[in-house]
Amino acid sequence: MKRLILNVLIAAFAISPALTFAGNPDRQGEAGGYELLLNPWARNAGLHAMSTSMAYGVEAMQINIAGLSRIGKNEIVLGHTILFDGTGINLNSLGYAQKMGESGAFGISLTSMDFGDIAVTTTGAPEGTGATFSPNFFNIGLSYSHTFDKKVSVGILLRGISESIADVGAFGIAIDAGVQYVSGADDNFKFGVSLRNIGSPMKFSGEGLSFPTSNPQGGVQYPITVNQRAEGFELPSMLNIGLSYDFYATKDNRITALGNFTANSFSVDQVGVGLEYAFREMFMLRGGYRLDLGVPSNDAQHGVYSGLCAGVTVEVPLKKDSPGRFAVDYAYLATNPFSGTHNFSLRYKM
């Protein structure tokens, strides 16, 4: 298993320049499956998902899969996200990580989008037929990570992506791979690289792409059904490179500074910095800023997020001298337009 993971990682990072750096801002909007870029976990959302070097446990499955194995025994996280407050779109997620042996860990994550009820309209009833529908956007990830000598972690994740309505759907497969390195007297220095959303093109198909018409050849008229061919689309692949350093004012007070660079295949590249303060690893405050490179804030290529983010965590043991800990996480990401994105998470770990 270890050799297989290493071989896959070597192959993934070997082809990453062709897959990840082939894009440019002119290709923005040409990919699909952008829900893969939405972070459902509040702890890392408070740093704009820039914690490539320090993400661990369940949340690493969305940031850098290499950090999955940096847990105790197990961890379960339930997340709810109010996307772009005012749009009525929500993101719900559930993740579980289980230690395997001393150095490995297995994880599974489930994420779905809730668009609410959308009115059905037709050419004959543009104001609505009275019926409603809701798209089903769902993905599931299966992953494995291994830590070597407590310093180097590697991991790989296989994700299935489904997008559908009643009569049209698409399915695809994506692979994430990552590496984390930890060094320093107190493991202060951390470095991480992750390659995300490398996979098969997706294409919509189904009865919804067919429509009735009459015989186009003339002569005897009779009804026929014509099937439209949908164009395929790529997944939004990206490469993340991050580093962080822990400063200890005292034993109970930690301040972590981090930086991160993201190369996007189908949009502009991004760079950002963040800070996290922790008191006894029970109370944490964090915040950061992420910048779209080379794009003015009022440019159409600028993302909906304005760059600012902040978050808080309260984590307490369930009882005295117990390894089990319960945590509540919250994050806010500023947006323009809309009223921001709110992330909430409940976490239990041992």
Judged against a pLDDT cut of 90, whether residue 14 lies above it is answered with: no
- Residue 12: its pLDDT value, please? 47
Percent residues over pLDDT 70 in the chain = 89
- Residue 15: its pLDDT value, please? 45
Question: Range with the lowest mean pLDDT among 4-8, 93-97, 190-194?
Answer: 4-8
**What is the CATH number for 300?**
2.40.160.40
- Residue 39: its pLDDT value, please? 93
Average pLDDT of the chain is 88
> In terms of residue numbers, what domain contains 255?
2-349
Span 69-108, pLDDT tens digits:
999 999 999 999 999 999 999 999 999 999 999 899 999 9
Question: Residue 22 — pLDDT band, cuts 50, 70, 90?
Answer: very low
**What sign results for the dihedral spanned by CA atoms 253, 189, 287, 144?**
negative
Domain count, the chain: 1
Asked whether 54 and 67 are in contact (CB, 8 A), the reply is yes
Within 10 Å of residue 187's Cβ, how many Cβ atoms?
11
Judged against a pLDDT cut of 90, whether residue 229 lies above it is answered with: no
Q: What is the DSSP secondary-structure string of 221-267?
A: --EEEEEPPPPPB----EEEEEEEEEEEEETTEEEEEEEEEEEESSS
Distance CA 297, CA 261 (A): 18
Question: Residue 283 — pLDDT band, cuts 50, 70, 90?
Answer: very high
Span 32-60, pLDDT tens digits:
889 999 999 999 999 999 999 999 999 99
